[in-house]
Amino acid sequence: MDTATHTKASLVFLGSLTTATPESERPVTYQDWDALLRSGVQPQGIYLGAAPHQTWHHWLERIRQSDYWNLPVFADPAQGDAQLYVDALCSVERAREIAEGMALHRQALPAPGDVVRLEERLLYFLYERGQQAGFKPLLDRNSDQLYRYPVAELLAYAHENVSLTLEDLRRRGLLRSEGLVDRTRHCSSCGSAHIHFVDVCPHCQSLDIRREATLHCFACGHVSAESQFVEGGLLACPKCYVHLRHIGVDYDKPLAQYHCRSCQRSAVEAMVQARCLDCAHTGQPSELEVREVATLMLSASGRQAVRNGGVGEAFAPLKASNYIDPQGFRRMLDWASKIQARHPEFRVHLMRMELEHMDKPGQPVSPWQVTALLDEFAVRLNALLRESDLITRVDERSLWAILPYTMPKGLQDRIEKALEKLVEEEGEVKRLAVRMRSMEVKAMNGSKEAPSASQLMQQMRSGAQQGV
Ligand SMILES: [Zn+2]
Ligand SMILES: [Zn+2]
Ligand SMILES: [Zn+2]
């Protein structure tokens, strides 16, 4: 029998077949991964036979890093430890159904071999698995993030960072969270979730504090730790040296307080510090970045990006009615520039709005701050733009706008006002400012030739770098 043709559209079996599968349903079997590779067969799915954890895990690693990276992998329901790593623990028959269903899904997509970057592989992988597919988090105390995504990890090569890529795709709205599992707090400096909380003195930040009963001397009014009053087994005031015999008569005991042995001061409350175990950064607990841990699934924008084969510039559309995607934006800019070259009376401006720290100009804003703000900002921007204005977003922190017959100065003032209001309402985003630049779309130096969209955008970007 011609094996290659026989298994072309089917499931193959890796390892030794232990389950009692009827002869007719029995898939073609290979002893290990290398044997399968040598055969030249192109399977639709792979069923793992019973094998020790290390063995099947090694097979999976090799499958996910090979040309067959996207294929569904199944295991016997008895192989419980494989559950988080494979597509399903199921019967051979069910595995065949799933594999065939996925092959149908895949027909509309580019060939898996053409999908190169990790972000594209992750989205593609979910797409061909259908609407219910998602990357599930696994709690792992050895992971610096506390949670990791085992299936996504298998898809990454050694030089690729899965957790950063997943976080980036989620922020861009291409992945969405489904089913909250946990909430983690991360170091604002290195992103690690290994944070240690420690009580320190609120005055000098010393660790050497102790909660102690406090005594109050009625004779002189001195208040201090009880230990300061003990002298030869008796109580005496360290300030006025009066012996304190009767509580309520000579002294009383106000609330217990923290006493610092470094600066000798007291406080009702200790201060809590958050210390990062990975980079030693110390700060207040409120400075930690809070992340929600959930299963990550494809969003509508993510599906669209996979179908269009372009993940690089894909972002969830802003909630703005004037929004168009970056490709459309470039086409419109080209078009406007051509009209302008022929009809100089047509006035059109290109504007770039970039988010940055208010107190640290020139410093990029962290992406999670931007996400929190950008949609909110876009909604307000909506009210300020004219119907004929167009906006788009080509990267994390900047918006571009085409403004026909609109003076950028007026719009700029209105945006600044709106932003002030936003800051008043959302105290959190106080540190953010929008840096706006604009230029008139015009042929250069009296030339009749219309500049292209990419020339115009490039010109503005380099102008931004020179601080023009
Ligand atoms: Zn850190
Ligand atoms: Zn006293
Ligand atoms: Zn102190």
Positive or negative: CA dihedral 359, 361, 363, 368: positive
CA of 359 to the centre of ligand 2 (A): 50
Tell me which of 300 and 198 has the higher pLDDT: 198
Binned at pLDDT 50, 70 and 90, residue 1 comes out as: very low
Whole-angstrom distance, CA of residue 354 vs CA of residue 351: 10
Q: What is the mean pLDDT of residues 58-63?
A: 92
**DSSP-derived secondary structure letter, 449:** S
Q: Which residues pair with 433 in a beta bridge?
A: 356
Looking at the chain, the domain(s) classified CATH 3.30.70.270 span 317-461
Decide if 277 contacts 141 (C-beta within 8 A).
no
Cα separations (Å) of 74 from 12, 53, 56, 194?
10, 14, 11, 34
What does the block give as tokens for 413?
Answer: 């003032």
Residue matched to tokens 């097979």? 59
- Does pLDDT of 431 surpass 70? no
**10-24, 39-53, 147-161, 198-212 — which is least confidently predicted?**
10-24
The whole-number pLDDT of residue 446 equals: 63
Residue 202 Cα to ligand 3 midpoint, Å, equals 7
- Order across the sheet with 348-357: list the strands: 390-393, 398-404, 348-357, 432-440
State the Cα–Cα distance between residues 255 and 93, nearest whole angstrom.
71
Give pLDDT, residue 5.
Answer: 42
**C-alpha of residue 282 to centroid of ligand 1, in Å:** 8
Instruction: Please determine, for residue 2, whether its predicted confidence score (pLDDT) is greater than 60.
Output: no
Continuous H helices in 48-91: 53-64
Question: How many angstroms does the Cα of residue 281 sit away from the middle of ligand 1?
Answer: 5
> Quick one: residue 6, left, alpha or beta (phi over 0 = left, psi -120 to 50 = alpha)?
alpha
Averaged pLDDT for residues 131-139 = 92
Answer with the residue of higher pLDDT: 282 or 415.
Answer: 282
For residue 272, pLDDT beyond 90: yes
Of 340 and 430, more confident: 340
Ligand nearest the Cα of residue 235 is 2
More confident residue, 319 or 282: 282
Give the residue-averaged pLDDT of 75-98. Answer: 89
Nearby residues for ligand 1 (ion, Cβ within 5 Å): 187, 189-190, 192, 276, 278-279, 281
Q: What spacing in Å lies between the alpha carbon of 201 and ligand 3's midpoint?
A: 5
With CA atoms as reference, report the closest residue to 169 among 139, 194, 134, 128. 134
pLDDT higher than threshold 70 for residue 135: yes
Region 122-130 average pLDDT? 90
Backbone angles phi, psi at 150, to 5 degrees: -60, -40
3-state secondary structure of 373: helix
Above 60 in pLDDT, residue 201? Answer: yes
What ligand has the least distance to the C-alpha of 289?
Answer: 1
Nearest CA among 185, 164, 189 for reference residue 175: 164
Among 76-90, 155-169, 177-191, 354-368, which is the least confidently predicted range?
354-368
Q: pLDDT grade, residue 372 (50/70/90)?
A: low
Give the model's confidence band at 81: pLDDT under 50 very low, under 70 low, under 90 confident, else very high: confident
Quote the ligand 2 centre to 248 CA distance (angstroms). Answer: 14
Q: CA triplet 75, 78, 83: central angle to 5 degrees?
A: 50
Query: Which ligand approaches the C-alpha of residue 261 most closely?
Result: 3
Burial of 354 (0-12, 13-18, 19+ CB in 10 A): middle
> Ligand 3 centre and the CA of 257: distance in Å?
13
Q: Give this prediction's pTM.
A: 0.63
pLDDT in tens, 63-78: 999 888 999 999 988 8
The pLDDT of residue 268 is 86
User: What is the DSSP secondary-structure string of 95-150?
Assistant: HHHHHHHHHHHHTTSPPGGG--SHHHHHHHHHHTT-TT-EEPPEE-TTSTTSEE-H
The answer to whether 314 and 172 are in contact (CB under 8 A) is yes
The mean pLDDT value for 201-208 works out to: 94
* 184 contacts: CB under 8 Å, gap ≥ 6: 145, 146, 147, 193, 290, 291, 293
Question: Is 101 a residue whose pLDDT tops 60?
Answer: yes
Contact by Cβ (8 Å): 146, 160: no
CA of 404 to the centre of ligand 3 (A): 62
In whole angstroms, give the CA distance from residue 98 to residue 11: 10
SS3 416: helix
Q: What confidence category does residue 178 fall into, taking pLDDT thresholds of 50, 70 and 90?
A: very high
Structure confidence by residue, pLDDT tens digits, 232-270: 888 999 999 999 999 999 999 887 788 898 998 888 889
From ligand 1's centre to the CA of 143, what distance in Å? 13
Q: Are 314 and 300 within 8 A, CB to CB?
A: no
List beta partners, residue 184: 291
Separation CA 180–CA 184 (nearest Å): 11
Q: State the ligand closest to the CA atom of 221.
A: 2
* Pairing assessment for the beta strands 348-357 and 398-404 based on DSSP bridges: antiparallel
**Confidence band of 375 (pLDDT split at 50, 70, 90):** low
pLDDT digits (tens, 9 = 90+) for 41-54: 888 899 988 888 89
DSSP run (H or E) holding 260: strand 257-260
pLDDT in the model for residue 182: 96
Which token pair is 262? 């470094």
C-alpha to C-alpha distance for 356 and 34, rounded to whole angstroms? 52
**What distance in angstroms lies between residue 269's CA and the mean position of ligand 3's atoms?**
12
- Cα of 264 vs centre of ligand 2, distance in Å, is 18
The pLDDT value given to residue 11: 85
Contacts for 124 with CB less than 8 Å, ≥ 6 apart: 70, 109, 112, 115, 306
In the chain, the largest separation of any two C-alpha atoms, in whole Å, equals: 107
| 5-15: average pLDDT | 66
Q: What is the pLDDT of residue 468?
A: 36
User: Average pLDDT for residues 314-324, to the nearest whole number?
Assistant: 65
The 10s digit of each residue's pLDDT in 437-457 is 888 888 776 667 888 888 888
**pLDDT for the residue numbered 442:** 85
Tell which phi-psi region holds residue 385, choosing left (phi > 0), alpha (psi between -120 and 50) or beta.
beta
Ligand closest to the CA atom of residue 282: 1
Percent share of the chain, pLDDT over 70: 84
Residue (of 70, 123, 162, 67) closest to 311 by Cα position? 123
Q: Mean pLDDT of all residues in the chain? A: 83
CA distance 98 to 104: 10
Give me the architecture of the 317-461 domain, per CATH: 2-Layer Sandwich (3.30)
Mean pLDDT of the region 361-383: 65
